Structure 1
Amino acid sequence: MAANLDLANRDPNNINDHIKVTFEDVLAEPEGAHSIDCVWKLSHTCFTCWLGLCYKISTLLCGICIAAEWGCEFATVAFYHVWFITPMLKMCEMNCAVLSKMTRTCLSCCMEPCCQAFGQLFHHFKK
């Protein structure tokens, strides 16, 4: 599985498109309010350097543990679905089928004769 890991495109399904962390997406000077060019260039360099450094340190210190925790969480969810939720839904579906059949039987015994009688009664009225 690790052999197929794409190290260049780490978000192939674009699930984090909403996170904009480039300098141009976060900081912008409108027309008429420009700083000195060297300040803007150094700001870009500092932002990019600190963003990369802090992100790499955070992932180094916490990323593996957090990934392990999320792996356990999703394994637990999968376990509950396979061993509890899906069988419970199947049991509910089976019980509802019996209840549905009983309801149809009772309606056909009790309501159908009344509906047929009213139908015959109003059958003779014509426009």
Structure 2
Amino acid sequence: MMEFILNVNPDTQAIAYVDQVMENYTNIYNLPFKREIRFVVHELVINAVEAMEKLEPYSKKVMQVHVSHSHEEIKITVTDEAKGIAEKDWNKALQFDLNELDYSDRGRGLFFVKNMVDHIWFENISATKFLVGISKKIHV
């Protein structure tokens, strides 16, 4: 079992830092699905940073990335200090309608993430803490 937690400020440096950590991590442990795992974490971290950028006071907020993997599975959660997604909108957040495509960069991340992992879940930890988790089988 391997496990680590990163507590970072929600900013563009944190996105680059987490990207680099995940690249090193997936390479050192020679994990399958390296690119998918890195893409998924990148998308979840960007979503958390963007959600927290809308808040004040911005500087005191922290985002947490928790990664654990065993021989069978990798689990990753990203917890932010923003409001998150209302429970009634969880399914909608995972949908993507080509008919509503406006070619903007946003709004597709969770749809792609959902299709690259075995399981995705959301959790409203409190009024100001929101968690997105994923798990993916890495050995069949």
**Length-normalised TM-score, structure 2:** 0.22
Q: TM-score, normalised by structure 1?
A: 0.24
Q: RCO (CA 8 Å, sep 6+): is it higher in 1 or 2?
A: 2
Q: Which has the higher strand share?
A: 2
As a proportion of its length, which structure holds more helix? 1
